[in-house]
Amino acid sequence: MKKILAMIDELVVIIISISGYVPKNATFIRTLSMGLSLIFLVLISSQKPQNSFWALVYFLFAEGFYFGFIWLVLGQNGLKARFIRIWGEEKAYLIYEGILGFLFFHNGASIGFLASATSPGSVVSSDNLNLAITAAFLFIFGFGIKILCTKTLSVEIYYWKDMFLGRKIIEFNEKGPYKYFTNPMYGVGQAQAYAVALWYCSSLGAVSAMLNQLLIFWFYFQVEKKFIKKIYS
């Protein structure tokens, strides 16, 4: 029983962490920002009927700040070195992780909100059982892969701690999803975003999921892959 409870606890911690809030590094500011983010999401969701304009604005802002931040901080000659110079490694990373977690949350939330706000009707209202099953399967599969990837590599790698510090922090082994996929986190691990678009029958939701995936792969090939080859090869 203790083993099962420990596994459940680990699963819950991973889910919360990849959603943007890392419990072990919780602070008042992080908790407040996540609480306000949740309230914001509830409020705009209650006012969203076919509000595609503001949903698109939210998505573009969330996407722009998210990718702009990781490029500015983790890119070649990025701000990570300045952060570390000012605050030291530990404090600098925690500040960076807190900001990135906030952006992670709104990046994912904005895609889901855009899909729901531009929905002509969900698969439930269309009474299409096959589409509903497909959407549910894609969501569980994609989110499950992302959880397994994080469990394999650690929450710290999920937040690119190695890139922030500029050094190896784990010994990478091809375990879990990495035994079967070259880049499961950015590949099949993004399936849940398409699942949400499918659930809401939203073509704009699907486009936003595709744009988000293309941008993360662009970051991977332009920045992250070079770091991996240099540090882990």
134-153, pLDDT tens digit by residue? 999 999 999 999 999 999 99
Q: Compute the distance between CA of residue 73 and CA of residue 77 in angstroms, rounded to an integer.
A: 8
**Looking at residue 52, what is its pLDDT?**
83
| Per-residue pLDDT reduced to its tens digit, 12-46 | 999 999 999 999 999 999 999 999 999 999 888 87
Q: Compute the distance between CA of residue 47 and CA of residue 57 in angstroms, rounded to an integer.
A: 15
Take residue 113 and report the two structure tokens written for it: 């909100």
Take residue 131 and report the two structure tokens written for it: 């589409």
Amino acid at 54: W
**Looking at residue 172, what is its pLDDT?**
79
pLDDT at 174 over 90: no
pLDDT at 228 over 80: yes
pLDDT at 5 over 90: no
**Looking at residue 50, what is its pLDDT?**
63
Q: Compute the distance between CA of residue 22 and CA of residue 95 in angstroms, rounded to an integer.
A: 12
pLDDT at 121 over 80: no
Average pLDDT, integer, range 101-117 = 95
pLDDT at 176 over 80: yes
Take residue 226 and report the two structure tokens written for it: 């070079």
Average pLDDT, integer, range 82-92 = 96
**Looking at residue 45, what is its pLDDT?**
82
- pTM over cut 0.85: yes
DSSP structural state of residue 171: -
Take residue 52 and report the two structure tokens written for it: 């595609």
Which has more confidence, 48 or 35?
35
| Per-residue pLDDT reduced to its tens digit, 198-217 | 999 999 999 999 999 999 99
Average pLDDT, integer, range 77-102 = 96
| DSSP E strands, the chain | none
- CA neighbours closer than 13 Å in the CB half-sphere of residue 87: 12
**Looking at residue 124, what is its pLDDT?**
63
**Looking at residue 128, what is its pLDDT?**
76
Residue percentage of the chain with pLDDT more than 70: 96
pLDDT at 123 over 90: no
